[in-house]
Structure 1
């Protein structure tokens, strides 16, 4: 597609919402930006973890010591270096150390199954891995061409200065892996410039040297990009959540004790807080939430409890560096309408497109994104790159665009309302999941003849993955199927429930009858999405 057709009303509204240009340090790397902060705010607290406080000076020294060790191990500019460390000051220092080497960091999780972890390391071309579990990983992957470096040998701050490496703004800063429909996870590389675009001149939250931001997301989840670099590139404070999993009582204590100003919660966790302990978030100035479509019922409760100008809905795919749109929630949408995902954030452009033309207000189309937040593509998947990334002329300007696969429409004021997916991708607990990837692994199970994976709604209004399988052998049981998936997929991609069926019911058009299957999961006839 070379050019989008544009009606006058559609073009006028798209021009209005895409006036998002703001100055930001587009010519500097994260290494330069952080080292500038470390010099300017040397004695300020950069990291809080449990009862430990780490200043910018100490964090920079620790990162320099780790970088020196990685360089001694053979790290080179533009390498990909794995990071497998529990949430701690050492984790943040390791991410910085990789960037100081001029390399890109690849966050991985030791809890991932061997098959997935090995595939991610191999697919990314990772040769070095900095970790707090070197011995364990070496035993798990004796034949893997990856050298584990133990952070225990680099804990001393040492006297190392900032490495002389000079990564550019268009070099890769990190790689996140997301679910892939073919059964193969997709590597999404992100540039230094893209992270700077996310956190400087932010429209969705105040980020400066007074910001205190909670980091609770897994570092392999793109929300961590905002949680870490939002404060640390401004001289603010990053508060590390002390436990692997969030508990409301502990969350409340951490937010109050450390006077956290900004927090991001996935939609599911936000709903739980609103239902069970809304006072948890009372001390927080800005509550960001997103990752799934919002429940208007929970938004109504939140507005009543927290008031206006504190709650902000955010939306964005990994391919656009964490956030692409924001919507300050000041009032409820009209009855029967969904909460908008809002307007583009700074230095981001959004288009709603249908059949090669820009959509006017009320017309449903696919959401396309543009701007410096876009990833350069997918690692080693040229077909996926061609399918999702394109260049075309819009209003006389050549734009590189990302097709999100999300459907939406513009309101008269330019805010965008999400209308579902064009494909089989879902969001569960904030994680982006391709149902086809789960189905792929089910189809590889010799005990399974047929399978179907979908999302069901819980009594509390949350979402869970549910699988339905037709057995090929008597060994096909719910527990056996789940054990097989646990050995191949991260925990968040393993269906919470597996139902064994004699056959998959079909509709009159020959498609799997999802509604009929869900009656097995909801025998009482409870509704599902």
Structure 2
């Protein structure tokens, strides 16, 4: 499959199954999916998912339905995703590690009648009112004919945490994913020889990009087992053994990977691209990692985007100019199918250079939140523009537009806190903390005492061979860089920072870590 053929298949596809079938026909016996010692060719993957799609139809799954997938990381996860999409349904990721109460909520909220997965996992989750199908073909059921799709159908519903504590299901269409892949493929030049590591679990939106980038390129998708993803030395070994050329990381895991790579003696890697997103990029970590990579280092692309914009809205290939420049988190410019702007509190446009909220419009924007019309109306707003009314998603992220048209990410607007009546952006405090050479990781939070006092507290992981009395040195560094009200009042030195299942910083756990434990009353 030539680059021209690859682009033609991607440009003419109207749905995700349409794209996969076209690529599978072109690639045939070439490897599509690898999991340990097991490899499925494109032809085998196409036939197997056709047969499972037929089983789903026989179980009553109809176009437009929502089907749960309850599986651990494995080739069966990707197989099930393709089968559900071929049946014309949308898939809903369900993690076997979720508490039973959360699984029951998701199944009920998404109105799921069929789950592809393991009967034991379903029973353990108390999912009694669903039909369970193992992700296997049945010889007595012939492959189903293709379900006609026009791209407007839902591809998936991924649940994200809600500010009220109730998860919200984000609904994304086939066309949004296709345009996402087209946009990112204009930045990363993948071909049939590439091998894409499936590092992110499928309950997170970045998993959509890693899988469909691989399929669209006619490349090989390499499953990363959960136990390997949780051990950076093991993950590094997999990258070398499987000659992975592209992987998506969050800054926290990239930092851990860089440390593992250094500890292993800087072995050569086949990596051509590292996409990093989900949190504010750590330019010092990226710069050091690239400098220590033997041979030709990979390109590192900083990607930004919420689940509500199909996971990527802007991107920037990081260069030495960024590492030496004044912008702590450059996120680049919008992908071709999206419009990204900075707006004020009343959603008015703000001049270049001023801080405001990022808003996103275009074909990548999600339909909304499943069964949550009020929340959808609050976050997805229609604004008047010179071109007429335009529907935008309000990200809640702060940014400013730079003179060259790119954007600088400044953190969440809900990470903007008040300390003794003065607004403080936690992300900015953390950026300056990490700028000190003796700091490996840092997170800031505000701790309230019983007496009503507030303290800006920094939780810090020190680098190796940190000097004595680090608190005094850090305090001096911060006061030399920031106004006094932005310099932490307290420093707590910890072996590591807590992270969520996706590898992002767990801010609630950071706050708990920074809060002094009170002795019980006698």
- Equivalent position to 1:232, from 215, 234, 244: 215
Q: Which residues in structure 2 correspond to 1:62-461 (within 5 Å)? A: 62-131=48-117, 133-141=118-126, 144-151=128-135, 154-155=136-137, 160-201=142-183, 202-246=185-229, 247-278=231-262, 279=266, 282-306=269-293, 310-331=299-320, 332-333=322-323, 337-354=327-344, 355-423=346-414, 457-459=459-461
**1:83–1:105 contact (8 Å) kept in structure 2:** yes
| TM-fit CA distance, 1:341 | 1.1
Closer/same/farther in 2, CA of residues 455 and 255 from structure 1, 3 Å limit = farther
- Following superposition, the deviation at residue 41 of structure 1 comes to 1.0
Cα distance, 1:48 vs. partner? 1.0
* CA deviation vs aligned residue, 1:131-152 (integer Å, no higher than 9, x gap): 0x2134135325x43211123x
Q: Give 1:496 shift.
A: 4.4
> Quick one: distance in 2 between partners of 1:204 and 1:291?
18
Q: 1:371 to 1:109 in 2, by over 3 A?
A: same
Gap change, CA 1:424 and 1:184, over 3 Å in 2 = farther
1:295-325 per-residue CA deviation (whole Å, 9 max, x = no partner) reads 2321331342347771111111000001111
Shift of 1:519: 6.4
- Using the size of structure 1 for normalisation, the TM-score is 0.74
Partner of 1:518: 514
Give, in angstroms, the shift of residue 58 of structure 1: 0.7
SS of the residue corresponding to residue 220 of structure 1 reads coil
Distance 2:250 2:502 in 1: 18
Q: Would the alpha carbon gap of residues 280 and 66 (structure 1) be closer, same or farther in structure 2, given more than 3 Å must change?
A: farther
Q: 1:52 Cα deviation (Å)?
A: 1.3
Alignment of 1:45-56 (within 5 A): 45-56=31-42
Q: Distance in 2 between matches of 1:127 and 1:494?
A: 35
Q: Name the CA shift for 1:314/1:95 in 2 (closer, same or farther; >3 Å).
A: same
**1:309–1:415 CA distance, 2 compared to 1 (3 A):** farther
2-structure distance, mates of 1:368, 1:218: 27
- For 1:467-486, list aligned pairs within 5 A: none
Contact 2:52 2:138 in 1 (8 A): no
User: Partners in 1 of 2:81 and 2:412 — Cα distance?
Assistant: 33
TM-fit CA distance, 1:272: 1.3
Structure 1 unmatched runs, 5+: 1-21, 429-449, 462-488, 500-516, 522-529
Aligned residues: 429
For the aligned residue pairs, the C-alpha RMSD in angstroms reads: 3.1
Using a 3 Å threshold, how does the CA distance of structure 1 residues 365 and 351 change in structure 2: closer, same or farther? same
Structure 2 unpaired stretches of 5+? 1-7, 417-425, 431-451, 464-500, 518-522
